[in-house]
Amino acid sequence: MLLYLLSCALLAQDLDVALRRGQSRGMTLLDQVEDSEERKAFQLLYREVDPLARRTRVSEFLKKFPASWLLAQVYEAGARASFDLTDYPTGLFYARESLRLYPENPLLTGTLAAVLANRGETQAAKVKAKETLAALDRFQTPEGMPEREWRQARQKLIEVSEKVLGSTRQPLVQQARDSRSSYAGSQSCQPCHRAQWDSWSGTGMAKMLRKIEPEAVLGDFSKLAAFGGQGNALVKGIIEDGKYFVDLRRESGLWDRFRVDYTIGSKWQQAYATRTANNELHVLPLQYNNLKGEWINYWRMIDPPDSARTELGNFHRMRDVTSYQQNCAPCHTSQFEDKGFLEPGVNCEMCHGPSAAHVKGSPAKWSFKKMDHRGYVEVCAQCHAQSAIREPQGFPQRYQRRPYAEFSRKAFYRDGRFRETTFIVESFERSACFQKGEAHCGHCHDPHPVNPGANRTSLKHEADSNQMCLQCHPAKYSAVGHTRHSGGDATRCVNCHMPKIMNSLLFAARNHQIDDQPRAEPTIRFGRQESPNACFSCHAERNEVWLQKSLKDWRLGLPKG
């Protein structure tokens, strides 16, 4: 079985970036490596058949390109070459380094489970077997790998993992889609759950999409004309009789007027959508960032340089890439289907399930209290997991994910951590809090906060964030003996273990991977920009030598330097 896994593993090495199911491939992972010499070295490494020669190439690559985007794949190649050579200690080292950068690799964790089991390391093998089965349930077929070959490899991985665990897994069954008549709408919840309903109605979820109302508009439309710069007007904002319009100039010089029919968002940023004659909604490229108080070209900020929708003069063509239904609706509206949606915004039933029968007196079919931590997080992952493939299914939805390796490297730091806040669930699921402590989103966040207007992140312990951690961890972890700081921001758990390093357009959000502790080694290897360190959040003037010594002293229990 182990020999089979070693021989089939490279079949799944896909280097293409896929954004959604069925989409033609764009750039590859190799395309994103700027150094041609680095690309060539990687290609030679992967074409090498002899395991000893391949491992030699791995060693040479690591010495020459220690901060490469391709390290996870290179370490994996070294692991497999070492296993082929029956050099298991070296293979295990390479495998662990690969998984440190990219843990969600069932072909490698499955191989590792078999190797560890053969070595008699039963408990460690079981951990990897469980990780393998979880990944196989979660992720779709890797792009570029034939379905037939993936089915064969997947079945072998399942057999290995079940043998290691000594038990047969129960495959997940996708529930049939609920009918529209199963849903009652958020208004039906108000009579019996008034306090929760009142709170929810003030949250950003309730206001995610709504018909335009003057009091809900954040953007200053009078300042839109300045967006293109003096003497180069590309856009105008118009308000007439309480109605909002955006004029966009084509390359030919002609102007098109679009009525703003909906606002999208109400906290950090607000987008605007227009309804076309054929009843489609399209999202205008200009959005208003409430934190910075300025207009931005949203598509230009998130798209690759050759994206056509970033040009304001192209908007009149209104293609799939500007369609609200195709790009936004699954997360910004409720009970979405191809022909429309039942309710704008994120309503009660998006989290609590279809409630028509419950409104008529039947017991609620689903409850968070009866769900384990994985099921709880899956509900939030409907919208907060960028990799989710949002396809119609029954409640609670359990969307499959795209393998993370298929996303642009822009989504990650070189040390393997997620860079973009749209991967907030994926980041959290890597944490020990989730994997070992069975933590879920509801331990720290309350979707029905008492002050939704002021508590925009819906925190349960907004006044004292340490209380979020002290639900599970002893109080000593917030004391000076642990923090080595007598006061200030450094005594807050989140500032060391959840630093603000995730990109959310024009502000930084907290990392939800919840690292065990800040580490000096990756920052020294990749640099501050590609491996940000929590210590430098307060000590930006310090250097990496200080960082390494300070963290070493911290582990030894010495006072801070």
Residue 536 is predicted with a pLDDT of 95
- pLDDT bin (cut points 50, 70, 90) of residue 7 is very low
Instruction: For helices 106-118 and 122-138, give the axis angle rounded to 10 degrees.
Output: 160
pLDDT mean over 524-552: 95
Element (H, E) at 40: helix 36-47
Evaluate if residue 8 carries a pLDDT over 60: no
Residue 220 carries which side chain, given as an amino acid letter?
D
Tokens 């989290």, located at residue:
351
Single-letter amino acid, residue 153: A
Q: Which of 152-156, 303-307, 388-392, 543-547 has the lowest mean pLDDT?
A: 303-307
> So what's the pLDDT on residue 21?
47
pLDDT of residue 281: 93
- Contacts within 8 Å (CB) and 24+ apart, 346-353: 346/205, 346/206, 346/208, 346/383, 347/185, 347/186, 347/206, 348/186, 348/189, 348/193, 348/197, 348/200, 349/183, 349/184, 349/185, 349/186, 349/395, 350/382, 351/379, 351/447, 353/395, 353/396
Q: What is the share, in percent, of the chain residues with pLDDT greater than 70?
A: 93
Choose the weakest-confidence range: 116-120, 228-232, 295-299.
228-232
pLDDT of residue 560: 59
**313 vs 175 pLDDT, higher one:** 313
Tokens describing residue 504: 């959310």
Q: Judge if the upstream peptide bond of residue 396 is cis by omega within 30 degrees of 0.
A: yes
Residue 59 reports pLDDT greater than 60: yes
Show the CA angle centred on residue 328, arms to residues 140 and 259, nearest 5°: 160
What average pLDDT is seen over the chain? 89
Q: Are 488 and 500 in contact (CB under 8 A)?
A: no
The residues pairing with 271 across neighbouring beta strands, listed in sequence order, are 264
- Asked if residue 469 has pLDDT above 50, the reply is yes
CATH architecture observed for domain 2-165: Alpha Horseshoe (1.25)
What does residue 50 show for φ and ψ, rounded to 5 degrees?
-70, 125
CA 116 to each of CA 100, 110, 156, 516: distance values in angstroms, whole numbers, following the listed order: 17, 10, 16, 24
For 139-173, the pLDDT digits (tens) are: 999 887 888 999 999 999 999 999 999 998 887 77
CA distance 30 to 19: 17
Count of CB atoms situated within 10 Å of the CB of 163? 15
**Distance of alpha carbon 41 from alpha carbon 23, whole angstroms:** 29
Higher pLDDT, 113 or 560: 113
Give the pLDDT confidence of 479-488 residue by residue, as tens digits.
Answer: 888 888 888 8
Average pLDDT, stretch 98-118?
Answer: 96
What residues contact 355, with CB distance under 8 A and at least 6 apart? 183, 184, 188, 189, 348, 349, 364
Find the Cα–Cα–Cα–Cα dihedral 120, 122, 126, 129, rounded to 10°.
10
Measured CA to CA, the distance from residue 372 to residue 395 in angstroms comes to 15
Residue 81 pLDDT class (50, 70, 90 cuts): very high
What letter represents residue 97's amino acid? E
pLDDT at 11: 33
What percent of the chain has pLDDT above 90? Answer: 68
Instruction: Write out pLDDT tens, residues 415-443.
Output: 999 999 999 999 999 999 999 999 999 99
Residue type present at position 362: S
- Strands 286-289 and 333-334 turn out to be unpaired
| Confidence band of 338 (pLDDT split at 50, 70, 90) | confident
Stated pTM of the model: 0.91
pLDDT on residue 456:
86
pLDDT-derived band at 186 (thresholds 50, 70, 90) equals very high
Angle between helices 106-118 and 71-84 (to 10 degrees): 30
Residue 235 makes CB contacts below 8 A (sequence gap 6+) with 224, 225, 227, 228, 246, 247, 248, 249, 286, 312
Question: b or e along 191-227 (b: 16 or more beta carbons within 10 Å of the residue's beta carbon)?
Answer: eeeeeebebbebbbbbbbbeebeeeebbbebeebeeb
pLDDT of residue 301: 86
| For the ranges 123-137, 172-186, 286-300, the one whose mean pLDDT is highest | 123-137
Predicted confidence (pLDDT) at residue 52 exceeds the cutoff of 70: yes
Domain boundaries, the chain: 2-165, 207-329, 387-556
